[in-house]
Amino acid sequence: MAGIQMNNIVKKYGDGFPAVNDVSIDIADGEFVILVGPSGCGKSTLLRMIVGLEDITSGDMMIGDKRVNDLAPRDRNLAMVFQNYALYPHLSVYENIAFPLRLAGASDSEVDQKVRDASKTLELDEHLERKPGNLSGGQRQRVAMGRAIVRDADAFLFDEPLSNLDAKLRGQMRTEIARLQKKLGITTVYVTHDQTEAMTLGDRVAVLKRGVLQQLATPRELYENP
Ligand code: ADP
Ligand code: ADP
């Protein structure tokens, strides 16, 4: 695990107005931070710069005590949890969670130990032989998180993971993500344009507007001083 520190991050596409303009956010180890703001405010761009999918124009991006500006995504040890969860439909829950370990050439016994531990934590141990198609949305989300925790990723990154769900399921999943994040204690950055999500999920909320960080505060502080 590790914190994420953004120092004066700027992103310019071409010669246009900066999509992200001098943003500094210090995310503590284990903290859950929400990036919120209207469409086009720069949330995804910022998240993509953390993951390494987008070049940083200027500023420093630190993960733990390592400057990662020039590191490829695969060398950053982060876990992006995608909206569609990106599970393999033909593989069991067990093999979906095991996948990154198999890629890394882990032994069968190491794979088994880690998959068992992760699935216990995520309350998936009853479902290891099932295929993703037979799981609920919440269970699929947990499989995706399981894949991240077996790798000992330093942080979870979510890009609007609930935006395709109906209101009821979205509410359930929100509760579930918040609960699991606390249980795992893993540094988490979560992008949403949904105010309710922003105010209920995280430890702190970063409000972006036209690429500029407007506020960085706890939900309580934002309620009291909107
Ligand atoms: P959000 O995630 O908050 O909707 P984005 O980060 O997607 O915002 O976009 C921020 C700004 O950067 C917008 O003005 C958008 O049009 C622009 N932008 C995003 N991606 C690109 C790109 N690949 N090329 C040029 N401009 C982009
Ligand atoms: P169990 O009910 O304990 O899962 P199984 O017969 O399914 O019994 O598994 C036998 C062994 O293979 C156990 O060590 C289990 O952890 C492991 N195992 C279970 N499923 C898989 C799988 N899909 N791939 C690899 N090993 C597995």
In what order do the strands lie in the sheet containing 58-63? 20-27, 4-11, 58-63, 66-67
Could you report the per-residue pLDDT of 131-170, keeping only the tens digit for each?
999 998 888 888 988 888 898 889 999 988 887 777 887 8
Sheet containing 187-192: give its strands across.
78-81, 155-159, 187-192, 32-36, 204-209, 212-217
Count of helix runs (H) and strand runs (E) in the chain: 7, 10
Helix axes 108-121, 137-150, angle to 10 degrees: 130
* 98-117: pLDDT as tens digits: 998 998 899 999 999 999 99
> Residues 138, 144, 149, 150: is their CA dihedral positive or negative?
positive
pLDDT tens for residues 165-204? 778 878 888 888 888 899 889 999 999 999 889 999 999 9
What residues does 35 pair with on adjacent strands?
A: 191, 206
Give residue-wise pLDDT tens across range 29-81. 999 999 999 999 999 999 999 999 999 999 999 999 999 999 999 899 998 87
**In angstroms, what is the span from residue 165 Cα to ligand 1's centroid?**
23
Planar angle of CA 143, 124, 180, nearest 5 degrees? 70
- Choose the residue to mutate in 93, 94, 95, 108 for probing ligand 2, maximizing ligand atoms within 8 Å of C-beta: 94
Query: Which amino acid makes up residue 188?
Result: T
Residue 226: predicted pLDDT: 76
pLDDT value, residue 177: 87
pLDDT of residue 142: 87
CA of 214 to the centre of ligand 1 (A): 18
